[in-house]
Structure 1
Amino acid sequence: MPDLRAPIITRLRQGTGVGWLRVAILLVLDSLMLSLAWIIADSWGTPVNSFELFWKSSQEPGFLLPIMVISLGILAASGLYGTDDKRRDYFTLIKSLTLAQIVLLIIAFLYKPGLIVSRSTFLLSWLLSIIFVCTERLLIQLAIVSLRRQGAIRQRIFLLGDPGDVEEARKLLDRTARFDVRGQAILPSESNQEFWIEILDRVRQLRVSEVFVCSWEAVRAPIFLYWELMSSGISLRVLPIGLKIPSQWSEIKMIDGLTTIRFRSPPILGSDFWTKRFVDIVAAISVLMLASPLFLAIALLIKFDSRGPIFYKQNRVGLKGRHFKVWKFRTMVIDADRLQKELEAKNEMKGGVMFKMKDDPRITRVGKFLRRYSLDELPQIINVLLGEMSLVGPRPFPLRDVEKMSEHHFIRHEVLPGITGLWQVSGRSNVVDFEDVFRLDITYIQNWSLALDFQILLQTIKVVLQKEGAY
């Protein structure tokens, strides 16, 4: 007897075709990158016929087939072709590619124990695979972000919940630039079957792929809603606006039928911190070596332009609230700190936490040029080498600004401050509300990754060259 609760053929989930297309594109591009890595490694590595492991010669068309099957299979098993943010987990991507290389070596030993394997070929292929695949995925992500900011390839959704929760959800989802909110509905205090039938018809007509429920406790018949949406090919997602929980990476875990939310450890701790620190040191040393002529030229310009020292050192608040002196090229007259008190009434930052003034009379002629291109920040490379700052992170504020902060703002001091950050690439001085600055800092802290750091650094170069929001 057929199941009368559902249609004979349940509709495919809305957006399934787009999802399959995304997976197909990733598979093709990953295959090309892996093939290119192995072909280059085979040509550069020591020729010892190591490719006789699965095939007769690297010149034959099918010699890459077993490599592709093993590598792509491990990437798929790691969830790197899945939905949401999993496919952009570069740390898991590196681990999976490394595991694929280890599996190939193990199979080589078991299949043909006496085979002489070219170590240079395997090492090169491992390194090039990581570089090529990570770069490919980063470029894809940058392209997707750019298209979404223009309103393209956004996921069509519908919001359902209490008035306040729906409005808050819309604001949060708009910030991600990933969703196109096609409609919304307010849950009445006493919902009936006619209300749900009307909502479901409306959702189907809008052809959305997901319904976001912002007030789950207000849904009187959740199993009915779930069943009807799923049978129509529409996914159901709960957005816990009213549940005040830390906005941190989490996963749903079932314990004897009980749903729980488990949070992962915060980023930029432990091995994350030391990885970030290693990259900072290598990059800082490279910048000092390459930019030393520029440092000398700027120092001479400052010395000839106005009276005072070349460098300006100011007390700032850094990691765990510790005070340190930040290094900058001097861009103001020598008594700038005293003059600031007379200019406080002209502060353009809302809330009074930070001091920003577009036509600040304290800035020198050379200082205006340095600030326009953010060249005054270059000496902070010294702070990076001393371990007081990082290349990317929340900006360190002067004591005057920190004293005006609210208690919830001090979470910024749990990570190393940075020379650049999300605030700098999101408008810089054009962001005039300190709460917006704080929100950008928290977004960075909660979503940190090396890929995000590299993305911000690249975006910083673009922002500096275009002189966006600089004064």
Structure 2
Amino acid sequence: MSYINVAIDSFKPDLRSAKSATIQRGLFIRLLRVALLILLDISSLSVAWNLTVTYTSSLQSEWIKNLPFLLLSLGVQVAILATAGLYRAGLYRRDYISIVKAISLSSILQLFITYIYDSSTYIERSTYLLYWLVSIACICAVRKIFDLSTNFLRQKGIIRHSIFAIADAQQKEQLVNILEKDNCYAVQGFADSSCLDWANREKTFAYLRSQNVEEVFISWDSIKNRSFLCWHFYNAGITVHILPTENKLPFSKTQFSLIGEIPFPTITAPIFAGTDFWIKRLFDFYFSLFLIVLLAPVYLSIAILIKLDSPGPIFFRQKRIGLHRREFLIWKFRTMITDAEKIQVSLEAKNEMKDGVFFKMKDDPRVTRVGGFLRRYSLDELPQFFNVLVGEMSLIGPRPLPIRDVQKFQTKHFIRQEVLPGITGLWQVSGRSDIDNFDDVIRLDMSYIENWSILLDLSIFLRTFQVLLQKTGAY
């Protein structure tokens, strides 16, 4: 499959970016639930406090009614409940054993706060014992009422989360049985894995957006060979639940959520989609601009050396395949003789890449003396900061490849063209030219795409300096 035969739509952003400003689907109802639970817990704790005060002596009551102390105590208790995960959806908020533990811990901390607040005041232990018991009773009772009310409304079809299921026919029944254990979902439809094929993908996501689908349940078989699709859901604000599997999921943002008492690998959509990617782009732009200005004397020195070393232009420009398989001109300092691309045809038999997709040759006769030095320290790549500045490349990403290499791609390889190409990447810091198998390069590129984060980019950025100093795999 040649890149030139694939129809390209009008401009689409990088796979990791949102097409437009998007917030997490269903966020409002989730925030409303959490806010209501917090309000109910505060009310329960306040009632418990007032009941405790009523049954204590007046000597203690005046001090216990101190408003700053009351607010501090309530804040500590709510924080502990939140830390214990008791405001999460589903079974978590009904975990009464954890509620008892959290209230018990908060009561102990309250004793400590009391001592710090006013060590001269004597408070009977029975006061805290009573407050501890009444707090547990009030919170558990109110949460039970909350759950009964929520279940009643959901049986009436209210406050259900709209979902879509993607699974093959043999797994549909299994998924339905699991979803029926939780009556909080409104199923908007089912589809098999073909809805995620290249030809059907845009139509599928358009339907999910039109139906305001909040969550998608998907079988592992439907996504195991195309985990990168998680980025489409992630940046559409749609939370993904993957049917339980024994396989280790490659997507680094995978967590677990209990649905019908079954742990589902879950990829929760961000509150604001695509923000990480645009932080990356801003850093690319300003850092490239800074380096271009800072390294201007280095650019000039290299240009003079190239001119003195061999005849020909200072810069080498070559068509590369970038984002969405579009051609662009990559800029490098010239490291070879002027007819290098024509001579390459006669050197193909000496290609050291095992599968022949890339062309790599350790002792390439076309490389000039200055060119060898520039390649050893990757100084020939410096002009690519201009490519980054205009948005054709990123500092970190899969390397953009020449047309000759891309024409040898298989269909599965084109996923690397769905993200901005980079000056350096996971391949470069994992051995560069010492990796002599294209499948290994693709494996590293796929790992980068599936697990991308700002921290991963930072790690690659720092490791690049180490590789440059060690001259690892550079030729």
Normalised TM-score (structure 2): 0.47
Kindly indicate whether structure 1 or structure 2 has the higher relative contact order, using CA contacts under 8 Å at least 6 residues apart. Answer: 2
Normalised TM-score (structure 1): 0.48
Higher Cα radius of gyration: 2
